Amino acid sequence: MTLQDVILRPVVTEKGAELKDAARTMCFEVAPAANKIQIKAAVERLFKVKVEDVRTMTNAGKLRRRGRFSGYRSDWKKAYVKLREGQKVPEYTEI
């Protein structure tokens, strides 16, 4: 799995913005098969920062309907990546 396959996109939410400013934590949607070691390595190489901690969670897909047709969204995985003390949190547009 390459670095671009591990980190799919940043998750930009109000909670994520508060964590980014207050706790040096970034939030990403990651590949469901990615583990914490792969996520840490990908963030360190892509953003050139040092990672202190990685927390992951798997979100279950929701039931969605289009008229009389119904189906489920795919399950997806989210990772909260905390940077070490003294590391500058990069903006997502600086990539």
Would you state the pLDDT for residue 67? 94
pLDDT digits over 53-62, tens only? 999 999 999 9
**Among residues of the chain, what percentage have pLDDT more than 70?**
96
Predicted pLDDT of residue 90: 83
Range in 63-67, 81-85, 89-93 the model is least confident about:
89-93
pLDDT at residue 95 is higher than 70:
no
Number of structural domains (the chain) is 1
CATH of the domain at 43: 3.30.70.330
Enter the tokens of residue 57: 């969670």
Q: Which domain holds residue 45?
A: 3-62+71-87
SS3 category, 93: helix
Residue closest to 43 by CA, chosen among 59, 32, 54? 54
Cα separation, 17 vs 35, in Å, equals: 24
